Structure 1
Amino acid sequence: MLRVAERLFLFDVDNTLLDNDRFAEDLRARLTRDFGVAGCERYWAIYERLRKERGVADYIDALQEFGITLEGEPTLLGLSSFLLDYPFAERVYPGALATLAEMRERGHVAILSDGDLVFQPRKIQRSGLWDAVDGAVMIDRHKELSLDAMQKRHPALHYVMVDDKPHILAAMKRVLGARLTTVFVRQGHYAAQSDLAAIDPAPDRIIAKISDLTHLDWNDSVAASSPSTTETA
């Protein structure tokens, strides 16, 4: 029987613990170098279509479809290696690993990420984040819809979700209510484009960067889940 934790900190990955925007920039540069501007734009058009159809980013399937008309092209294999061997450890945000370590002293920690079941685990493993949470990793196409499975795997009296997408935080809050404290971290392009005035319920906490999480007071889970929104500079 699983032990019920008093508090569990859940972390998104892309643009929360890891600079995925920088990875996307590097991928765009590689595509442009090897396939030209037109080829780069064709790859991203495929990627965006698949993301809209499936509701999840899938770089590998986008590459598979992109390569259909490029069979025999040697640079295509190089692009595959670029994706699978990308140095994600270099894209972990400053202070992210130290933040995970400190949160482990204040409760249990786990990763709850959106993504496909091939590239996303590879990313989390190569970044060092997998080991940082001792393999406590869940990946789902829509994590806000997998809360029942999450609670079965990680039973806790109180949850804290840290994410760069406030609409996902709001969806989770509507399900878990006062048992969940939501923390919006303003990192990456999704965060920059978010209109908080349109988010209901609003995040419980707002921080500028992931390392700011350690500056918040987590001594009282009830106080931490109060409806008033606070923001760190």
Structure 2
Amino acid sequence: MDQAQPTGPTAASPDERVAFLVDVDNTLLDNDAAKDEMDRRMRQLLGDEESARFWAAYERVRHESGRVAVPQALVEYLRDLPAGTDPATARDQHIALADVLIGVPYSDYVFPGAVAALETLRQVGRVAILTEGDPAYQATKVARSGLADPAEGYVFVAPDKSAYLREVAAIFPADRMVLVEDKPNNITRARAIFTGLGLAFSGIFVRQGKYAAASGPEWDGAELTVDSIAELAAMSPDAIARALRTPIVSRTA
């Protein structure tokens, strides 16, 4: 009788430890749709004019800091309330708006297949969530989405993901680091940083969301490209392990 063959990383490289670093916004969670829901609730609370003023503050903060920072946008918005606003009114508006911003039911916006994808990746290596943004707000988003549990609680939040990769490699060590991401630029930067540390690197490009769409269909800078996180979830652990070790040049030559 034939013996069953091992699957996952042991089939390709018995001694290689693999760590998956999985993005959240537009990779595991439909952040574009969640933001639309936030805007809808805000317009109900503030009206169109004041909502537009908040989003102007949001974009200004993002432009100046290079990252999404919802709490800082709220600070900017409240600082510029119209002169003469009653303090009690300002306080009530602050509380209500904060509830809108932090109360989005993020679990409703987890992509189909996202949890299954994390569970599949755990059959190949260790899995952690790596997301960027305001540390307090982004951590709350992950907690409310329910995504921390399938990642066994390994959640790393940094204002700038690329600037934090060396620390991640130290605290979550592996021989091969794998970034699962919807932004091609983040995969390119991670490759340079991890290989510079002497680590093997693979990218999994999840082609969903506005940033992935902006990259165009021709971008091929990852070892594995899928059109959705559900497509990744449907792959076998062995197929994923093989794809991670297939050099890009051998597929594009």
CA distance in structure 1 between the partners assigned to 2:36 and 2:30 by the alignment: 10
* 1:106 and 2:124 are equivalent in the alignment: yes
Matched-pair contact (CA < 8 Å) for 2:128–2:155: yes
Match of 1:85 among 88, 98, 103: 103
Residue in structure 2 matched with residue 218 of structure 1 by the alignment: 240
Instruction: Report the secondary structure of 2:17's partner residue.
Output: strand
Aligned position for 2:72 = 61
2:180 is the alignment partner of 1:162: yes
1:191 shift after superposition? 1.3
For 1:138-192, what per-residue CA distance to the aligned partner results, in whole angstroms no more than 9, with x for missing partners? 1111111222101101110111111111011111112224711111111111111
The one-letter amino acid paired with 2:170 is: K
Partner of 1:208: 227
Report the CA distance shift for 1:49/1:170 in structure 2 as closer, same or farther (over 3 A): same
After superposing the two structures, state which structure 1 stretch, 72-81 or 50-59, moved more: 72-81
Aligned CA distance change for structure 1 residues 221 and 29 (closer, same or farther; 3 Å): closer
Q: Distance in 1 between matches of 2:27 and 2:231?
A: 12
Q: TM-score, normalised by structure 2?
A: 0.81
1:188 equivalent in alignment to 2:188? no
Give the Cα separation in 2 of the matches to 1:22 and 1:173. Answer: 30
Alpha-carbon contact 1:5-1:107 (below 8 Å) kept: no
1:47-84 Cα shifts (integer Å, max 9, x gaps): 11111211211112211221231652434422211222
> Please, which runs of 5 or more residues in structure 2 have no aligned partner?
1-14
Deviates more, 1:60-69 or 1:179-188: 60-69
Is the 2:223–2:245 contact (alpha carbons within 8 Å) kept by the matching residues of 1?
no
Describe the shift of the 1:145–1:224 C-alpha distance in structure 2 as closer, same or farther (beyond 3 A): farther
Task: Give CA-to-partner distance per residue, 1:80-115, whole Å, 9 cap, x none.
Answer: 112222211111111101111111111110011111
Query: RMSD of the TM alignment (CA)?
Result: 2.3
Aligned residue number for residue 173 of structure 1: 191
Corresponding residue number in structure 1 for 2:49: 38
Give the deviation of 1:229 after TM superposition.
5.6
User: Contact between 1:204 and 1:227, CA under 8 Å: does it hold in 2?
Assistant: no
Q: Indicate the larger mover: 16-25 or 172-181.
A: 172-181
Q: Distance in 1 between matches of 2:145 and 2:136?
A: 15
Distance 1:36 1:160 in 2: 44
Task: Give 2:201's aligned amino acid.
Answer: L
Question: Partner of 2:241: helix, strand, or coil?
Answer: coil
Percent sequence identity is: 33
Q: 1:228 to 1:28 in 2, by over 3 A?
A: farther
Q: C-alpha displacement at 1:224, in angstroms?
A: 4.0
Distance 1:228 1:207, change over 3 A: farther
Report deviation, 1:193.
1.7
Q: Find the aligned partners of 2:16 and 2:137 in 1 and give their Cα distance.
A: 30
Could you tell me how far apart the structure 1 residues matched to 2:119 and 2:31 are? 21
Q: CA deviation at 1:36?
A: 2.2
Contact kept in structure 2, 1:206 and 1:229, CA below 8 Å: no
- Write the mapping of 1:135-150 to structure 2, written as runs, cut at 5 A: 135-150=153-168
Unaligned runs of 5+ in 1: none
